[in-house]
Amino acid sequence: MPGCFLESYLADGESVYRIQLNRFPALVGRESGLAVTLQSNNVSRQHAEFVDDNGSLLIRDLGSTNGTFVNHEQIWDSYRLHTGDVIRFADVEFRLREESSAVQRQDHDEATVTAFFYPEEHVNRLPIGAQQFEELLSERMINPLFQAIVSADDGQLSGLELLGRGSHPALSELPVPLFFLAEGLGRGVELSELIREVGVKAWADSAYCDLPLFMNTHPHELRDSERLSDSLRDLSLEHPGLPMVLEIHEQAVTDQGTLGQLSKALQGMGMRLAYDDFGAGQARLLELLDVPPYAVKFDISLIRNVHQTSKDRREMIDLLVRMVKTCGALALAEGVSRTGELKVCRELDFDLIQGYVYGEPATLNQLRVAPGRKMSICCV
């Protein structure tokens, strides 16, 4: 794993400190002369080691007294590391980085670097909100919200999208700052998994559990398809037979083979696949043919002000809608907030509509659902 280093804060708190890992095995411990020497009394003399396994980086605990942890879980055997993993030796924490991801680059001629840490000060140097974010995860402090997905033909409620909000009093409830903090801590995937777990339970216990539930994924989740499949399998086993739909952002698709395997795994669990933000970058038409989804969600950039756009642009959207439907998928217009946009989306033959025109994300008992599951329009 070339260009790999450990990143943390100096004890003075003034700068980020990086320790290059370029010779293996690389021993970590309290003894001097090791690849990584940590002057904390809670770190064992020879605490752990990094091993190069044919280009992959492994970490192995060497029987330490106070343990080695990866992403806040103690490891007992060799563990394969990935960029962004949080590694803790007793009370000293690092994040694993690659050289290309560094904000500031530093060149080290030496093969080994000694790091001096003082535990009390080190804890205070963790990113602002780290402790509160840990509490959010451990206490499952997520409020699940849902946005209606409506039939374009008759205005009937036809599905829901799960959207999470934080409920920790010291953190923002909004998803963008919450995921920004999670990314800084290397825990974006855990937050995504938690939102699905909490949200699916609320939906499964409601009167709407017969409607498809669209669930988001973190872009990094496709990098570890086995973990993603395991988390989804747990949901399907806990809530068997319920119609769940997994959304994959089109720009997160980099490997057709991985996507095909995921699609087959979802079918085996009784779940379906949807492509999110279609057209946000380049429309990934090949995936439509090779791995046809249940639904394709057109990006808001294509839908916003569609009632005021040029004839050529409208014809392009019409062509994309027809291509999606030819592949057997449902065409979903996302971000519809005005009645003019709604009218044109119906003319373009979209199957499903989602957006503020039918209400903001809300708790299940706050959805604006009329008798017979008809949705009332609430925007102009």
Instruction: State which amino acid sits at residue 71.
Output: N
Q: Are 340 and 314 in contact (CB under 8 A)?
A: no
pLDDT at 210: 96
Q: Are 369 and 358 in contact (CB under 8 A)?
A: no
Same domain, 120 and 148: no
Chain-centre distance of CA 374, in angstroms? 32
Which range, 16-20, 99-103, 349-353, 370-374, is most confident? 349-353
Same domain, 59 and 183: no
Burial class (CB in 10 A: 0-12, 13-18, 19+), 138: exposed
Give how many domains the chain has, as a whole number: 2
For the stretch 304-336, pLDDT in tens is 899 999 999 999 999 999 999 998 999 999 999
Q: Residue 86 sits in a domain of what CATH number?
A: 2.60.200.20
Burial class (CB in 10 A: 0-12, 13-18, 19+), 210: exposed
Domain edge (last residue) among 66, 100, 126 = 126
Query: 77 in helix, strand or coil?
Result: coil
pLDDT > 80? residue 76: yes
Same domain, 280 and 368: yes
pLDDT at 10: 47
Q: Are 331 and 321 in contact (CB under 8 A)?
A: yes
Same domain, 89 and 217: no
Average pLDDT score over the chain: 84
Same domain, 343 and 317: yes
Q: Which of 136, 201, 190 is CA-nearest to residue 167?
A: 136
Same domain, 226 and 168: yes
**Domain-located, residue 380:** no
Same domain, 145 and 103: no
Instruction: State which amino acid sits at residue 164.
Output: G
For the stretch 128-141, pLDDT in tens is 578 889 999 999 99
Same domain, 51 and 169: no
For the segment 328-345, the average pLDDT, to the nearest whole number, is 95
Cα(184)–Cα(130) distance, rounded to whole angstroms?
A: 9
For the stretch 361-374, pLDDT in tens is 999 999 888 888 88
**93-107, 215-229, 233-247, 321-335: segment of lowest average pLDDT:** 93-107
Give the percent of the chain with pLDDT over 70.
84
What stretch of H or E contains 245? strand 244-249
Cα(191)–Cα(219) distance, rounded to whole angstroms?
A: 12
Is the pTM value of this prediction over 0.75?
no
Cα(128)–Cα(322) distance, rounded to whole angstroms?
A: 48
pLDDT > 70? residue 251: no
Same domain, 80 and 143: no
Helix axes 188-204, 225-238, angle to 10 degrees: 20
Pull the structure tokens for residue 359. Answer: 């209400």
For the segment 230-255, the average pLDDT, to the nearest whole number, is 87
**Residue 351 gets which letter from DSSP?**
S
Residue 340 structural domain: 131-375
Same domain, 218 and 267: yes
